[in-house]
Amino acid sequence: MRDWTMRVAGVVFAVLGLAWVAEAQELERKDVEDKYKWDLTAMYSDNAAWDADYAWIESKIPELEAFKGKVGKSGKDLKAFLDLSVEIGGHLENLTTYANMSHHLDTRVPEYLALRDRSDVITAKYGAALSWFSPELTSITDANLTKWYKDVKGLDLYKQYIANEMRQKAYVLSPDEEKLMAMSSEVFNQSESAAEALRNTDIQFPEIKGDDGKMIKLSEGKYRALMESGSPKVRRAAALALHDEYAKYKNTMASLMASNVGAEVFQARARGYNSALHMAVDNDNVDTTVYLNLISTVKANLAPLQKYAKLRREALGLTELHFYDFSAPIVGEAPNWEYETGIATIKNALQPLGAEYMGGVEDVFSKRWVDVYETAAKRSGAYSWGSYKSHPYMLLNYHGTLDDVFTNAHELGHTMHTWHTYKYQPQIYADYAIFVAEVASTFNEALLMDYLLATETDPEKRLIYVNQYIDNIQGTIIRQTLFADFELRMHRMYENGEPLTAESLSELYRTVASEYYAPEVVIDPQYDFTWERIPHFYSNFYVYKYATSMSAALALSERVQNGGEQELKDYLGFLSGGSSKYPLDLLKGAGVDMSTPQPIEAAMKKFGELVDELEVLLAEQKAAKEAKPKPKRKSSGLD
């Protein structure tokens, strides 16, 4: 079911670039120029205004509860209720966003911690005051609704919202049964928290010898950095030590995983869905064929992945390529980017999106909508967030790596999606599903990459860009599809009554991973326990959206760049659509049909072309090195 209270949280977090290298000296906020810091006054002029709004919301909540028992009987009351809940919801969104964003700027400030906690309390109160609404709404007959749409002026604004609720009516149980389901959900969520506690706190990873010979205590974060080591010995030691540690907890982890899958299957069966997969994708009104189609299409197009693995092995001078060699550097390091240089490049890259889009981009960077630099106790990572009453904002922790420039383009994609949606949609449709959100962000990354490749002539820099593009597609489309494939087969095993044990899960993971990465990649037995490491396996059937989004984004970015006015108009229409249509229909309007293999095939074709270019560039690099045994290297700083 779509959760009414979720509309207050339109936050989209970055998928990429969450790991940052801490600077030796941390900046304090007072040391940063204002133009690089958020101006949050578009939400509230000060905390006193926030307090006043809080009091207003609190006073209005009982008015919502007074509609209980009325909206199912009268179209006029239904409209009045929806109008009021949207109005209060808009204030609540503003309230919550301001509190959280203020808190994120300096998480030490008690005043903002208090605002955030208070906003959580009132959000819960608002949610509780609405708990009766969905069952009452879905009990309205089609005949009554048809009549009310005709008789009650303005009710048809809510048609798509109501249709989406009604669509899921078949899976809503009786009020008493729903109450039991709600009570049980708290118990069901325990396996996820237990797995999290095990992964993040209880498991103590051993020390391994790092590049400089010193001992390093492993963690998931350190592990990722060590995978980029130039030494195969260090990579191997880190990978095997990390997975060996997970192996010690395999039985507990398997039991938690089985319990999570079991809870999901129970809920799907209790509600009458065909399967757990059906329940998960139906939330976005997506058909299970989209999911199955992704897996079969990626699998049918894996030859370039094998070729890439072979190129990697040769470039690294290895006789065997193991999983832990997949992030080892085969190209030089990208030069650093000044923040302004990055923006100028992003703006050049986004030119195909036309004058209106670029006008919005101008606002984003000139009106203090971006908080740019890392400062003491600021929230890490990057995101795009805002409220309908203000505008979208972006949080960055910019250090100047190539990744940071891409993160900026990515978050700008979310921000401009929100900007268009706020501009063209009424508040009720001003949010959008994750299924479409990551299309807008990865679309911008694709335009930036295409621009860099179209304008860069220096072979070393081209090599860096091509390699990064390949790694992005490999990590986002192929690896996430492997995970989606594993998830599906794990659920099917449970649904068929096969036990999910440490042995059966590890065997399944080995089978699936081999189908994608073997024979070119050697899969050490320790990797059989990878399933223990993926937190997303507790957000059932979620990861496939990364793969479908990137595929759609690649297809659409080519369509816009090779197309004319109509293709651009289609894409901007998609950005302006919010949740006024279902995700697949929005994408169809933009020009991509995710129910067919075509966009996935196109993405995999692009992957193949990039691997071919990598092959040429690596051969050229090798030839150049052999021709000049003692080359005079120029520094590869930005021109």
Residue ranges that bind Zn ion, judged by CB under 5 A:
15, 441
- From CA 424, how far away is CA 419, in angstroms rounded? 9
The CA-CA-CA angle for residues 57, 39, 402, to 5°, reads 120
Give me the least distance between CB of 352 and Zn ion, in Å please. 21
Cβ distance to Zn ion smaller for residue 365 or 406: 406
| Amino acid in position 603 | A
**H/E run at residue 13:** strand 12-13
- State the minimum distance, in angstroms, from the CB of residue 248 to Zn ion: 34
Distance CA 467, CA 480 (A): 19
Residue 440 beta carbon to Zn ion: minimum distance, rounded to whole angstroms: 8
Residue 390 or 442: the one with the smaller Cβ distance to Zn ion is: 442
Task: Compute the least distance from the CB of residue 569 to Zn ion, in Å.
Answer: 24
Give whichever of 173 and 434 is closer to Zn ion, judged by the CB atom: 434
Provide the token pair at 34: 């204002």
* DSSP three-state, residue 394: strand
**Looking at 257-401, which runs of residues are DSSP E strands?**
321-322, 370-371, 383-386, 392-395
Active site residue 220: no
Shortest distance in whole angstroms from residue 409 CB to Zn ion: 11
Of residues 384 and 540, the one with the C-beta less far from Zn ion: 384
Strand 521-522 to 321-322 pairing: parallel
Cβ proximity to Zn ion, 16 vs 522, nearer residue: 16
Three-state helix/strand/coil letters over 583-638? HHHHHHHHCCCCCCCHHHHHHHHHHHHHHHHHHHHHHHHHHHHHHCCCCCCCCCCC
Nearer to Zn ion, 441 or 467 (CB): 441
Q: Least distance (Å) from Zn ion to the CB of residue 384? A: 7
Catalytic residue among 411, 445, 532, 613: 411
Buried b / exposed e along 399-432 (16+ C-beta atoms within 10 A):
bebbbbbbbbbbbbbbbbbbbbbbebbebbbbbb
Instruction: Select from 479, 490, 544 the least CA-distant residue to 515.
Output: 479
| Shortest distance, position 102 Cβ to Zn ion, whole Å | 22
DSSP secondary structure of 130-175: TTTHHHHHHTS-HHHHHHHHHHSTTGGGGHHHHHHHHHTGGG---H
Closest CB 614 distance from Zn ion, rounded Å: 26
17 backbone φψ class: left, alpha, beta (φ>0; ψ -120 to 50): left
> Token pair 């295409």 is at which residue?
450
* Cα separation, 579 vs 531, whole angstroms: 33
Of all residues in the shown chain, the one whose CB is closest to Zn ion is: 441
Element (H, E) at 12: strand 12-13
Q: Tell the residue number behind the tokens 């078949």, with chain if given.
A: 170
* Sheet strands (E) in 511-597: 521-522
Q: How far is CA 100 from the centre of its chain?
A: 19
Q: Which is nearer to Zn ion, 350 or 512 (CB)?
A: 350
Q: What's the token pair of residue 244?
A: 């060996």
Query: Quick check: helix, strand or coil at residue 428?
Result: helix
Minimum CB–partner distance for residue 433 and Zn ion (Å)? 13
Q: Using the minimum distance from each CB to Zn ion, give the nearer residue, 389 or 417.
A: 417
β-partners of residue 386 are 392
Tell me whether residue 102 or residue 441 sits nearer to Zn ion (CB atom).
441
Residues designated catalytic? 411
